[in-house]
Structure 1
Amino acid sequence: MRGLLAGLERKNGWTLAEHAGAVSPDGTQRLLRTADWDVDGVRDDVRDYVLDALGDPVSGVFVVDETGFIKKGTRSAGVQRQYTGTSGKIDNCQLGVFLAYASARGRALIDRELYLPTSWTEDRDRCAKADVPDEVGFATKPQLGIAMLERARSAGVLTTGAWVTADEAYGQNPTFRTWLTERQIPFVLATRNDDVLRCTDGHRRQVKVLATIAGARDRDTDASGWEQRSIGAGAHGQRVYDWTAVALDTTGLPDGWEHWLLVRRQTEPDEGKTVRELAFYRCAAPAATPLRELIRVAGARWAIEECFQTAKNEAGLDHYQVRSWRAWYAHITLAMLAAAYLAATRATERDQDGEKGDLQPATTS
């Protein structure tokens, strides 16, 4: 842990061993591969530690997303050529699905699952060589997201009314949405412009058609119902957009809930273009939820990208040189703990300085 928190350029077995004064990485490798400690138990400790340090029942949001770990060779558990946002292209990589917690106090990763493609799960000999347990079969990324959310719910930290947000890979998955609604967990999930939604009049329309109905592509006027709000600071200042919500059919939702298509629009088109870019989110929550609260949760999704960046740059999340299933989980869990420590320390310093974080909840006034 001291090595993961140290200012080392790389944080792999050799560099961590040297930092600890060892003459070889054998001890570090044994810690990750075979040493007798409860990796999942530490994962649960990390989650509880983050919620104790950063928990806020008003502003807290749970975020699901994946990140890639670029690898060489074919022996690392789960590795294959697949798309990853880490490089923005198809690469030889492992994909990890993560659950993060974000609030006005800070944000950190609290759970993780390694995605195993069918090229692995249908080849049990290959799995055995990477120490993948026999009972581990294929699971989609939304299924892995549900597994992590279920663990948080069973632990009592993901309670009814807590917000969940994720990108379109999860927003377009009916099983993921149904799991949330059946447990009365409100959500703001990104979706594509060709998604087809059922409107309040019973007709099914594509998202881009609904956006046109809402006046989203009107370049000269702003119809009533649009709200200009920031979703937090970016690399070039506040990220300000226009927002509106279109009511949708509520079939299958809990009593007293509403279903919306949230539309985000650029305030100005990009240079050389005449149309402002749009983004879309499927939302479900109690009917009294104000538009600004949906906007806040939509903006919270980017917190997990900051978690990935911090954990990789500061805690060596992607610096490992291990191939086995158990070693991946062990390293990732310890790197999550190191990153969580940094997030908790920062929150304490902000409390002492009287600073306010982003992700502030919407007021009802």
Structure 2
Amino acid sequence: MQRLLRRADWDVDGVRDDVRDYVIEHLGGAQGVLIGDETRFLKKGRRSAGVQRQYSGTAGRAENCQIGTFLAYASRHGHTLIDRELCLPESWTTDRDRCRAAGVPDEVEFATKPRQLIAMLARAIEVGVPFAWVTADDAYGQAVYLRDWLEDQDVPYVLAIRCKDSLATPARDRGRVDELIAALPTRAWRRLSVGAGAHGPREYDWARVPIRSAWRAGRGHWLMARRSLTRNSKGEHEIA
């Protein structure tokens, strides 16, 4: 494996495309979901492309690591990864000699993780990957340009955002996410299951708030919240 990764001459993008084509053939479905996420790989030294000291969820602290942005595909037939991008910090992209020593082409420039997700989604759309919507966590949801790009492509999405973010309401004013949720009446919440768990249905209370004043025909925008049924150590219901 190390010989393949370090010394063998092979077309990594071609292999990616072959994997994606296989996934479309065997797992593809009109109700499929494209999922953007990232992960970190612990590394020693400073020669591996993109490595630097940064927070690692894997280790739970700042560590020397690389970060990869990934696009996954999920349907009722199964789930797997179909694309990837290596995150290159600006400390790397501004040091072209270091990039060349690590085998990074000169044309590769700095890109945020949401920009990398856009590139991967564009490739998936271009080749006709069948899917119904896109989802990702708040590292991507807080990027307004990603949400705008998805809307320009007429792609439905569910993206997490932060409680402190502000959103436009139909009344044309703006409100913080946590304040909009806190203002919901009790009747706005509906209990739904997200699937079977080890101890029975995994149930939460759900609610949504209409946002934005101008919607594309046939489309809507909502702030959606999920509330736990049990209280945490602070005696509060956790809301996501």
Q: TM-score, normalised by structure 1?
A: 0.63
Structure 2 distance, partners of 1:34, 1:151, is 27
Q: Secondary structure at the match of 1:205?
A: strand
Aligned residue for 1:180? 150
Give, in angstroms, the shift of residue 175 of structure 1.
1.0
RMSD: 1.7
Aligned residue for 2:222? 260
Structure 2 distance, partners of 1:89, 1:169, is 18
Amino acid at match of 2:174: R
Q: Does 1:37 align with 2:7?
A: no
Structure 1 distance, partners of 2:172, 2:89, is 38
Distance 1:250 1:111, change over 3 A: farther
Match of 1:242 among 183, 205, 210: 205
Superposed CA deviations along residues 122-163 of structure 1, whole A, max 9, x for unmatched, are 11111111010010010000000000000001111156xx20
Structure 2 distance, partners of 1:236, 1:86, is 27
Uncovered stretches (5+) of structure 2, i.e. residues with no partner: none
Contact 2:141-2:160 within 8 A present in 1 as well: yes
Size of the aligned set, in residue pairs, is: 240
Give the structure, 1 or 2, with the largest relative contact order (CA under 8 Å, sep 6 or more): 1
Distance 1:55 1:169, change over 3 A: same
Amino acid at match of 1:187: Y
Give, in angstroms, the shift of residue 33 of structure 1.
3.4
Where do 4+ consecutive residues of structure 1 move more than 6 Å? none
Aligned residue for 1:275? 236
Q: Secondary structure at the match of 2:230?
A: coil
Q: Secondary structure at the match of 1:175?
A: helix
Amino acid at match of 1:229: L
Amino acid at match of 2:178: K
Give, in angstroms, the shift of residue 89 of structure 1.
2.2
Aligned residue for 1:169? 139
Alignment of 1:1-365 (within 5 A): 13=2, 29=3, 31-58=4-31, 60-158=32-130, 162-215=132-185, 223-233=186-196, 238-251=201-214, 253-270=215-232, 272-279=233-240
Give, in angstroms, the shift of residue 34 of structure 1.
4.4
Q: TM-score, normalised by structure 2?
A: 0.94
Q: Secondary structure at the match of 1:109?
A: strand
Structure 2 distance, partners of 1:179, 1:150, is 10
Contact 1:250-1:258 within 8 A present in 2 as well: no
| Structure with the higher strand share, 1 or 2 | 2
Structure 2 distance, partners of 1:244, 1:33, is 50
| Structure with the higher helix share, 1 or 2 | 1
